A and B are shown apart, each in its own frame.
Chain A
Amino acid sequence: MISFYGYTDGSGSYFIVVDSDKCDGCGRCVVQCVNGVLQVAPVFIDLEDKSVVVVRDDCCNKIGYLCAQCRPEENQAPCFLSCSVGAIKCVFDAC
């Protein structure tokens, strides 16, 4: 399952994209995230609770502010760089 967390506004769109099939819940990205946006939490997939990285509920609609610092550098965000299985990335499209 691929989860998109982010927003679109006048400046373009920004999304944190998590592939929960690839994610093994190691939590390295959680430690690396400068603003504590991420957490490892159970996600219901095929009747099982799998521990994968998610954007915290209370951060979901604040990504515009919380991720501002990492936003301009696509593929340079600490969460992306820390993942060894390619389960998390940040996508930014300027409009």
Chain B
Amino acid sequence: MIESNSAFWRWQEYQRVMPNMSWSDKDIVTVGVDVGSVGSKAVVLVNGKIYSWGITRTGSNSPESAAKALDWALKGTGLKQSDIKYVVGTGYGRVNVSFADKALTEIACHAKGANYIWGSGVHTVLDVGGQDIKAIRCDDTGRVTSFLMNDKCAAGTGRGMEVFADLLKIPIEDIGEMSLNVVEEPPAVSCTCVAFAKTEAVGLLRKGWSKEKVLAAYTKAMAVRMSNLIKRVGLEPAFVVTGGQSKNVGIVSRVEVALGVKCLAMPNWREGGLDPMIAGALGAGLFAKALYEKSRGI
């Protein structure tokens, strides 16, 4: 209880098993594990169809976080680690997935995962992770045609939002909604650097700005930065947002305004839909199946 009152940056860890799915020994069970800088995600696929997933925070020990994410994903499926034919690790901490057969960069995985979640119409993917932002262009099959990643630093990412949640004492899940609760959109803060933006935010609060207004100004700065990355790779509809910040309606709606394009609606992940946060792990699992079949000459 004490924790839930004091740790505003804490987001919900959870796991899910898709209903109406089962597996047998003949099936090809593959796993994708995406160890991000803030969250670790594991997805279990049966014959290339999503079966279950788990999302946990990446702790100080990445190998442990990867194992924990997989444990969560396997919970309630009846599957054991030995039933898994092929594991692909991806994300910032991919080298820490000790049980992976292969490690891939997250770029290819995110495009593949977005292609699975939203379908072949997806041609531009914006992944807003814990510590970086990636703009990806892909074709109908989810194959990457171009991408842009890593600006100068981790400015304006999920971790920055966590810092703001703590500073303003607002639960991270409510930040997006709250940032939209302003009469007039304030100008963006001048810098998305987490350290400087925090200083700037404190100054604005002292000046009498409401929490909502400060959040709006910071969120807008992030959105402008993201839309610039997308403009560089070129925006081709349909456009989607993946990663943890895809759940931040304040970010997503401001990116839409900056680009003048609506992104495809996020699946209702709270009620049976696929979570855009697992796109990377899902793509890794799909590649795992393809690589397994290739290795067996199937």
Binding site for B on A (CB under 8 A): 1-9, 13, 15, 43-44, 46-47, 60-61, 63-64
A13 to B149, CA, bound (A): 13
Stretch from B150-158, B235-243, B269-277 contacting the other chain:
B150-158
Task: Tell me the nearest residue of chain A to B102, going by C-beta.
Answer: A44
Binds A, one of B8-16, B139-147, B170-178: B139-147
What's the least CB distance linking B237 to chain A, in Å?
19
Contacts of A3 in B (CB 8 A): 146-148
B104: Cβ under 8 A from any A Cβ: yes
Is the C-beta of B232 less than 8 angstroms from some C-beta in chain A?
A: yes
B294→A7 contact, CB < 8 A: no
Find out whether the CB atom of A60 lies under 8 angstroms from the CB atom of B149. Answer: yes
Known: A13-B232, A15-B232. A1 touches B145 (CB 8 A): yes
**Cα distance A44–B228 when bound, in Å?**
26
Asked if residues B148 and A15 are in contact (CB atoms below 8 Å), the reply is yes
Taking the closest CB of chain A, its distance from the CB of B147, in whole angstroms, is 6
Does B144 lie within 8 Å of A1, measured CB to CB? Answer: yes
Given contacts A1-B147, A47-B290, 18 further A-B contacts (CB under 8 A): A1-B145, A1-B146, A2-B145, A3-B146, A3-B147, A4-B232, A5-B148, A8-B151, A8-B229, A8-B232, A9-B152, A43-B105, A44-B104, A47-B291, A47-B294, A60-B150, A61-B151, A61-B152
| Centre residue among A2, A13, A64 by max chain B CB count within 10 A | A2
Closest A residue to B92 using CB positions: A57
How far, in angstroms, from A70 to B143 measured CA to CA in the complex?
32
* Chain A: minimal CB distance from B131 (Å): 10
| Complex-state Cα separation, A8 to B19, whole angstroms | 45
Binary contact track B221-239/A, C-beta < 8 Å → 1, others 0: 0000100110011000000
Judge if B217 is at the interface, Cβ distance under 8 Å: no
A2 lies within 8 A of B146 (CB): yes
B147 proximity list for chain A (CB < 8 A): 1-4
A66 to chain B, nearest CB (A): 11
B214 at interface (Cβ–Cβ under 8 A)?
no
* Shortest CB distance A21–B (Å): 10
Residue of A nearest to B131 (CB): A61
Assess whether A7 is in contact with B290, with CB atoms less than 8 Å apart.
Answer: no
A4 to chain B, nearest CB (A): 4
CA distance A46 to B108 in the complex (A): 10
Chain B 80-104 near chain A by CB (<8 Å), digits 1 or 0? 0000000000000000000000001
Taking CB atoms, residues of chain B closer than 8 Å to A13 are: 228, 232
